[in-house]
Structure formats: structure tokens, C-alpha cells
Structure 1
Amino acid sequence: MRVFVTGGTGLLGNTIIRKLCQAGYDVLALVRGTPAPEVFAGLDVEFFVSDLAANDLAGSDLAGSDAIDNKCDSDNASVDPADDDLDQAIASCDAVIHSAALIHLGWNRVDESMRVNRDGTRRIVGACLNNGKKLTYIGTVNAIALGSRQVQADENTPTDHAGGQVECAYVQSKRASLQLIHQAVKQGLDAAIIHPGFMLGPWDWKPSSGRMLLEVGKGWKPIAPSGGCSLCDSRDVADGVIAAMKANTVPGREFIMAGHNWTYQKLWAEMAKRMGTRPPIRAAGPGMEYLAGLAGDLLARVTGKEPDFNSAGVTMSAQYHWYSSQRAITELGYQIRDADETLDTSSQWIRDRFILPTTAVGR
């Protein structure tokens, strides 16, 4: 069986490819350019070079940024035909896993996020429809309902629960992509939709979510964000994605693949233990979070570059992204490993990759 995979240089995509290769699948990986040699070292992978965000479909609505407006009106969602090369690449495969995405938790870069996340998904969807291929789409819990301290959100939780998600660039573009998938299902697309929680794991080359481990490892962070996340292992999510690809799922069915619902203060304390730094002493209060977000927004206006501590990102870090993975566990056999194993492996990977000392007590 031959599988087309996007996002292969990212944490989840790279892990999926490794799992597929280990299981004997043939893999055709979409890349934007020549990847660093270590990213695919030892893997028997064929590459297809393309930029899903490129506006090069002459005569297609994709070439315009307003094909679907930023409010994600599903009634106006449309699927453009894929370009010939992408269409042929997907035609040569038996299944498609679309993991590529731009993650920007801020108010800026909305157009760029839409081009990568929404319009890139549209091209993949078009090729899957043209060739009758099943699409396993990697969404995000940020595109669905928000959890709370009292409630673990699931696939049926109303999207306005706990005040709803922060409408930053990432949330807008991934929600637009999700609605596009559901519109395509009405046109005959066979799709399974996976919403991962906060993933950590090895092979985080850039890094992505491993940046949190890296920052904790650089020195003491006395104040942690006041919210929480659902910690999961990218290897478990990759197994779940492959299970969804193989399963005879109802087209358009969504599956949350999350994990341990922890506060950021607990998560940072566990990270600090493994990275050799001191744990945080408290969580940020509302006033501190407001000032941090305001400072980040002002800095973005002055410099033209939005920092991570903008008001969108700060507000999201004060929310409880806590989720139930019961549907994926029941229907796909999704498993959640012990958090210690995930943190041990991930912290070792970050230390080795970025040459951090094993211990640096007091930093």
C-alpha cells in the first residue's frame, strides 16, 4: 500500500512516516524543498516537491485569497481542482494523510495561515475527490470546542463552551479547513478527521511544541500560564492516524486524540525536573496576563513582528484545553501512554538535538 503524506518534516508528520515505513508501507512525502538529511535518514521515502500554499492555479478560485472568507462560511466553501502534478502524485497512491500546517498563535499572518492551511487543504481535497482516495486529515483541538476545568470537551461539545476558542490566525485557518473538509464530504470525499492535543515526542526537528521544553530548559520560568492542555505523545497520535486511515470510518467523522489533562504549572514543573531547571512557583494572574499580552501587541506594532507573548497566545494559555479521547479509544483503539515516558523521551530528544546539559540546577 502506498501512502501520500504531507507535513513530513514536522513532529507528527515525520512520526507518521516512520511508523508507516516500519509497517512496510510505501511512502510518497510532499516536501517544499530538499529536506535536511537527518530528517529522513534511514527511511525509504520517495519525495514529491510542491508548495501547497503557492498561488499558481491559473483560472482557479484558489489564486484569490477570498475564495472562502475568514469567517469560514461553510455554505460558500468550494473545492478547486488540483494541479496536474499533485493530482498525478495522489493518483499513484492508495491513501492520503494531510498533516502539513502553519501554526501561528497570534493576530497577524492571517492571510498566510489561510493560504497554507485552508488553500493547501483545498488542493489536497480536490485531488482526493478527483481520484477517489480516502483522506485522513490532521486538524487540531483548537478548531473545535474548548474544554474547561469542569468539563473535558469531546466531539459533541458546543463550540461556544467556556467562551469558545480565541479567533487567532491558526484557529481561523484550521476552522476554515475543517469546514472545507465537511463540505467536500457532501461531494463524496471519504475523510477521517483527527484532532490532536498538545503533542510531545521525538523527531521534533524544528522544534514545534518541543519549543516549550527548550524554553524551560534555557532557564528558570517562575511564572507559568494559568490554563492547561491535554498532553499526548506524537507516537500514539501517529498510531491513531494510521488506524483511522485503515478503518472503515463514516466519512467526515472526527476523532480527538489527546491525553493527560494537566495545568501548565504542573506541565512546566515536570519539564523543569527533566531539563535541570527550577519549577515555576505560581501561575500567572489575570493582571499579569493582560499586561503581557498588551506588551506583546505593542511590540508587534512597533517592530512589525508579532512575538509569541501576544494577547491571542496569552489568552489561549489561560484557557483549559482539556479533552476526552474516548471516541478514538473506542472506535480506533487509540492508546495514551504514561506521561512520564513521553516527557522523558521528549526532554532527552530536545537536550540532544539542541545540546543542552542534562542538569543545570539553579538556572
Structure 2
Amino acid sequence: MIFVTGGSGLVGSFVISALRQRGLSVRALYRQQPPALEFAEQVEWVEGDIRDGLGLRAALEGVTHVFHCAGLVSYAPQDEDLLQQINVEGAANLVDACLERPGIRLGFVSSVAALGGTVPGPEQPTAAGPLVLDENAKWDLGAEHNAYATSKYLGELEVWRGVSEGLQAVMINPSVILGPVDWDRSSTRLFRYAYNEHRFYTPGSINLVDVRDVVDILLRLTLDTNYSGQRYVVNAGALPLREFMTQAAACFNKRPPTVAVPDWAAETIWRLEHVRSLLTGARPLITKDTARAGRRVTEYRATKIEQALAFRFRPLADTISWCCAGLVQSSGVNR
């Protein structure tokens, strides 16, 4: 019996589909109502919350493997407490529940954000040379980190605590995960931006990976190996944001963005958005962290997982094309 958290999310939904294709029994956590997914009728759905430790203990009855795909991705200042509750306390609850059932293996979805790396300030928008990070990156306690990155790092610490107490666990650190899901969700907003033919883009690059590769790696590590106490960067490569937008727009037969937003303008916009969010309570469209993201070229090396599983990532061009086609088909929009 396999237990999955975050089954309604991008990674979790693909994990459930892949597990059922393997013929494995799946139990999955949901909060309000079970999501409408492929194989949903073949899943044992359990109503609950990752923040409910007692509920998690009950849900793990008879479970052999756990895939923790639940998590909050947000850079809005209003969500700092929620990030702590879901990404840190939720991870701690799940680790504690797993420790009470010896023999369980945990596959934990973290993020490259947990590897550290600092965000340039307005006075130093571009540092010289790329920042190269892999699994051996050390978290700099004295550096400035956004709340999301901090929550993922602290969530990883809970898994390391579990490993030190005997838990069999592996972690993956994916970059921005691409998949054809709801237009309003997570990384899919990048495709919506390209589809809507916005004129502006921010300089910089973005690291990307196909959700199918993420799920394949996660399942193989957790189900097909005995690796434990290891984490693996999962990243297919980086693209300049303008190139990504251009490729996506071409797939949609749309006009790509052509006007670069200078750093000074981005600094002004996020400050105005911050004031607007304070006055209205709405989520800011751009934050300090998103405005400054990508200013320093960062390279996340996935050599470790490529060697461990003899793995080859899908080309990003194929992933972008697949996502665009799936989004058009699922939403019924015309190209």
C-alpha cells in the first residue's frame, strides 16, 4: 500500500497515475474533496490535513511506502506562517508518523530552493559568473533567504532527523516543474503569460524540469532502490526567461514578449505591489523575491541522479511543446 500526500497537485497527481500504472494500491490524502484525476476511482481517498499528526498516523495503517508531494509554493508575505505550517510542521508530522511504523520508505519532494544561494540586492543585480549548486551545497545561515526557501530547507531537516532515527528516506530537489495542469497553478502561470501575449519579460534565466521525469526519478529511487539518507538535484537545464516565453508563445501561435523590464523598474513595481497588497489584502502580483529571481545565473547540476539511475532528462523543448498542447486541449481554447 502506497500513501501519497498532495495528490491534487502537479507532482502528486502524476505520482498517483504512475503508481496505478504499476498496478500498486494507492491511498491518498485530500482536504475538501477528492480531485478528479485519472484512476481516481481506483484510489483509497482519506480526508485529512498534513498538519494533523494524529490523522496521519491513522492513514499510515498498513502502508509500506510514502510519497510526500504536498507543499505550498508562495512568495507572498501573507503566506509566511502558512509556509511554516505546511512545509515544516507538516513534514515533521509525516516523519513522526513514519517513524512509528518501522519499515516504511519515504520519498520526499523538496526543492532546489532548499540548496541555498542568495538573492542579489538592488545594488548588485548581477553577480559575476554563474552560481553552481548541487546536493553538497551548504545552507548559509547568515545569508538572506526568502520564506519559501527557508521552509523547504527546514522541512528537509525534519527528514534528516527521521533518517538519524532509523527512517528509510530519499529526497529529490527539483527545479521549476513543468506540466499541463490548471492555467492558474504554480509554474503553469508562465505558459498563461506567454499565451496572453504580454509584451514584457524580465532578464535572467530559469531552471526547469519535466514533471514526468520528476515522477520517474521519485518512484525509481523510492520503490526500486534501497538508497537512503540521500538527496538528488532533479533539473533538466536552464533557459533564459525570454527564450522560454518565445518557445511557449510559438507553440500557442502567439506573439512573444519583446520588451525587457530593467532592474530599476522591477524594484519599483514590487514595492508598489507590496503597498497594494497591504491596503487590499490581495496577493501581490510580483514580490521582492520574484522581482530579483534570475538576476544571477544559477546552474543546478543533476549529475548525481544521472549517474545513480543512468538517467537522461527529456529535452526542454519537447517538454514545453507537450505542456502547451495539453493546456490547449484541456482548456478548450483555440490557438
TM over 0.5: yes
1:138-287 to structure 2, matched below 5 A, reads 138-146=109-117, 150-160=130-140, 167-204=145-182, 207-218=185-196, 220-287=197-264
Q: How many residues are paired up?
A: 325
Distance 1:145 1:276 in 2: 37
Amino acid at match of 2:185: P
**Partner Cα separation in structure 2 for residue 206 and residue 249 of structure 1:** 37
| Counterpart AA for 1:87 | R
- State the 1:331 CA deviation: 0.8
Task: State the Cα deviation string for residues 196-251 of structure 1 (Å, max 9, x = none).
Answer: 11111234576321121012212x22221222122111001100000110244543
Report what 1:134 is aligned to: 105
TM-score of the aligned structures, taking structure 2 as reference length? 0.89
Contiguous gaps of at least 5 residues in structure 2: 119-126
Q: Which amino acid aligns with 2:204?
A: G
Distance 2:298 2:11 in 1: 19
| Paired residues of 2:4 and 2:29 also in contact (CA < 8 A) | yes
**1:72-91 deviations in Å (ceiling 9; x for gaps):** xxxxxxxxxx41x4223213
- Amino acid aligned to 1:310: T
Amino acid paired to 1:186 = S
Q: Could you say which residue in structure 1 is the equivalent of 2:46?
A: 48
Task: Give the whole-Å Cα distance in 2 for the aligned partners of 1:354 and 1:271.
Answer: 16
For 1:305 and 1:135, locate their aligned partners in 2 and report how far apart those are by CA, in whole Å. 36
Q: Kindly indicate whether the alpha-carbon contact (under 8 Å) linking 2:17 and 2:39 is maintained by their aligned counterparts in 1.
A: no
Structure 1: runs of 5 or more not aligned: 55-81, 359-363
1:106 aligns with 2:76: yes
CA contact (8 A) 1:295 1:310 kept: no
SS of equivalent residue, structure 1 residue 349:
helix
- The answer on 1:336 being equivalent to 2:313 is yes
Q: Is the 8 A contact 1:101 1:117 kept in 2?
A: yes
Letter in 2 for 1:119: E
AA partner of residue 124 (structure 1): L
Asked whether the 8 Å contact 1:192–1:249 carries over to 2, the reply is: no
In 2, Cα distance between equivalents of 1:278 and 1:160: 41
Q: Distance in 1 between matches of 2:255 and 2:5?
A: 38
CA separation of 1:12 and 1:244: change in aligned 2, threshold 3 A = same
How large is the RMSD of aligned CA atoms in angstroms?
2.3
Post-superposition CA distance 1:74-123 (Å, at most 9, x none): xxxxxxxx41x422321311100100001112332111111111111111
The amino acid that maps onto 2:11 is L
Is the Cα–Cα contact under 8 Å of residues 21 and 43 in structure 1 kept in the other structure?
no
Distance 2:209 2:41 in 1: 24
> Could you tell me how far apart the structure 1 residues matched to 2:294 and 2:9 are?
22
Question: Quick one: which amino acid aligns to residue 121 of structure 1?
Answer: A
Taking the aligned partners of 1:129 and 1:334, their CA distance within structure 2 comes to 31
Q: How far 1:35 moved relative to its partner?
A: 2.5
Q: Compared with structure 1, are the counterparts of its residues 323 and 116 closer, same or farther at alpha carbon in structure 2 (3 Å cutoff)?
A: same
Identity %: 24
Instruction: Give the counterpart letter for 1:95 in structure 2.
Output: H
